[in-house]
Amino acid sequence: MIVGVGIDVAAVDRFGEALERTPTLAERLFVDAELWLPGGGRRGVASLAARFAAKEALAKALGAPGGLSWTDAEVVQADSGQPSLRVRGTVAARAESLGVRGWHLSLSHDAGIASAVVIAEG
Protein backbone atom coordinates (compact mmCIF):
# COMPACT_ATOMS: atom_id res chain seq x y z
CA MET A 1 0.00 0.00 0.00
CA ILE A 2 1.30 3.45 -0.89
CA VAL A 3 1.38 5.74 2.14
CA GLY A 4 2.68 8.80 0.31
CA VAL A 5 4.34 10.11 -2.84
CA GLY A 6 6.62 13.11 -3.12
CA ILE A 7 8.36 14.80 -6.03
CA ASP A 8 10.75 17.73 -6.10
CA VAL A 9 12.99 19.56 -8.54
CA ALA A 10 15.98 21.81 -7.91
CA ALA A 11 17.75 24.16 -10.30
CA VAL A 12 21.37 22.97 -10.22
CA ASP A 13 22.92 26.44 -10.75
CA ARG A 14 20.74 28.02 -8.07
CA PHE A 15 21.55 25.21 -5.64
CA GLY A 16 25.27 25.62 -6.37
CA GLU A 17 25.03 29.37 -5.75
CA ALA A 18 23.35 28.71 -2.39
CA LEU A 19 26.19 26.34 -1.43
CA GLU A 20 28.77 29.00 -2.36
CA ARG A 21 26.90 31.78 -0.56
CA THR A 22 26.53 29.77 2.65
CA PRO A 23 29.67 27.66 3.25
CA THR A 24 28.09 25.63 6.08
CA LEU A 25 24.92 24.78 4.14
CA ALA A 26 26.19 21.47 2.75
CA GLU A 27 27.04 20.20 6.23
CA ARG A 28 23.57 21.19 7.48
CA LEU A 29 21.82 19.36 4.64
CA PHE A 30 23.95 16.25 4.16
CA VAL A 31 25.82 13.63 6.15
CA ASP A 32 29.48 13.09 5.20
CA ALA A 33 28.72 9.95 3.17
CA GLU A 34 26.43 12.00 0.90
CA LEU A 35 29.04 14.71 0.32
CA TRP A 36 31.89 12.44 -0.72
CA LEU A 37 32.21 9.94 -3.55
CA PRO A 38 33.32 6.41 -2.75
CA GLY A 39 37.07 6.44 -3.23
CA GLY A 40 37.43 10.17 -2.53
CA GLY A 41 36.52 13.49 -4.04
CA ARG A 42 33.55 15.68 -3.29
CA ARG A 43 30.29 14.87 -5.03
CA GLY A 44 29.34 17.31 -7.83
CA VAL A 45 26.71 20.02 -7.49
CA ALA A 46 24.18 18.25 -9.76
CA SER A 47 24.41 15.10 -7.67
CA LEU A 48 24.02 17.08 -4.43
CA ALA A 49 21.05 18.97 -5.88
CA ALA A 50 19.39 15.63 -6.70
CA ARG A 51 19.99 14.45 -3.13
CA PHE A 52 18.49 17.68 -1.81
CA ALA A 53 15.46 17.15 -4.07
CA ALA A 54 15.18 13.62 -2.63
CA LYS A 55 15.01 14.99 0.91
CA GLU A 56 12.33 17.49 -0.13
CA ALA A 57 10.37 14.75 -1.92
CA LEU A 58 10.69 12.52 1.16
CA ALA A 59 9.22 15.26 3.36
CA LYS A 60 6.32 15.63 0.92
CA ALA A 61 5.71 11.87 0.94
CA LEU A 62 5.44 12.13 4.73
CA GLY A 63 2.91 14.96 4.55
CA ALA A 64 5.47 17.78 4.89
CA PRO A 65 5.37 18.02 8.69
CA GLY A 66 7.57 20.53 10.48
CA GLY A 67 10.44 19.44 12.67
CA LEU A 68 12.19 16.99 10.34
CA SER A 69 16.00 17.14 10.40
CA TRP A 70 17.72 17.20 7.00
CA THR A 71 20.42 14.83 8.20
CA ASP A 72 17.88 12.28 9.49
CA ALA A 73 17.34 11.28 5.83
CA GLU A 74 20.30 9.98 3.87
CA VAL A 75 20.52 9.04 0.21
CA VAL A 76 22.69 5.94 -0.12
CA GLN A 77 23.85 4.26 -3.29
CA ALA A 78 24.22 0.53 -3.91
CA ASP A 79 27.25 -0.79 -5.79
CA SER A 80 24.94 -1.08 -8.81
CA GLY A 81 24.32 2.68 -8.62
CA GLN A 82 20.70 2.34 -7.46
CA PRO A 83 19.84 5.01 -4.88
CA SER A 84 17.83 4.33 -1.74
CA LEU A 85 16.93 6.08 1.49
CA ARG A 86 18.18 5.50 5.00
CA VAL A 87 16.14 7.26 7.70
CA ARG A 88 16.65 7.81 11.42
CA GLY A 89 15.57 10.16 14.19
CA THR A 90 12.81 12.61 13.31
CA VAL A 91 12.21 11.16 9.85
CA ALA A 92 12.06 7.56 11.08
CA ALA A 93 9.62 8.56 13.84
CA ARG A 94 7.27 10.26 11.36
CA ALA A 95 7.52 7.33 8.94
CA GLU A 96 6.75 4.86 11.73
CA SER A 97 3.72 6.88 12.83
CA LEU A 98 2.34 6.62 9.27
CA GLY A 99 3.12 2.92 8.95
CA VAL A 100 5.89 3.31 6.35
CA ARG A 101 7.82 0.06 5.94
CA GLY A 102 9.84 0.81 2.80
CA TRP A 103 10.93 3.45 0.33
CA HIS A 104 11.32 3.76 -3.42
CA LEU A 105 13.57 6.52 -4.78
CA SER A 106 14.41 7.77 -8.26
CA LEU A 107 16.93 10.57 -8.92
CA SER A 108 17.78 12.39 -12.12
CA HIS A 109 19.63 15.48 -13.28
CA ASP A 110 19.69 16.89 -16.79
CA ALA A 111 19.49 20.27 -18.53
CA GLY A 112 20.29 22.12 -15.32
CA ILE A 113 17.49 20.54 -13.27
CA ALA A 114 17.80 17.87 -10.59
CA SER A 115 14.72 15.86 -9.69
CA ALA A 116 13.64 13.16 -7.29
CA VAL A 117 10.57 11.02 -6.71
CA VAL A 118 9.95 9.23 -3.41
CA ILE A 119 7.27 6.63 -2.74
CA ALA A 120 6.61 5.67 0.88
CA GLU A 121 5.22 2.16 1.11
CA GLY A 122 3.30 0.67 4.02
Q: What is the pLDDT of residues 93-121, one digit of tens each?
A: 999 999 999 999 999 999 999 999 999 99
Mean residue pLDDT across the chain: 95
Gap between the Cα atoms of 64 and 108, Å rounded: 22
Q: What is the pLDDT of residues 37-63, one digit of tens each?
A: 888 899 999 999 999 999 999 999 999
Task: Confirm whether residue 56 is marked as ligand binding.
Answer: yes
Q: What is the pTM of this model?
A: 0.94
For residue 23, give every residue at least 6 positions away whose Cβ sits within 8 Å of its Cβ, in sequence order, or none: none
Task: Confirm whether residue 8 is marked as ligand binding.
Answer: yes
pLDDT for 74 equals 97
Interval 33-38 mean pLDDT: 91
How many domains would you assign to the chain? 1
What CATH number does the domain containing 50 carry? 3.90.470.20
Residues of the domain holding 28 = 1-119
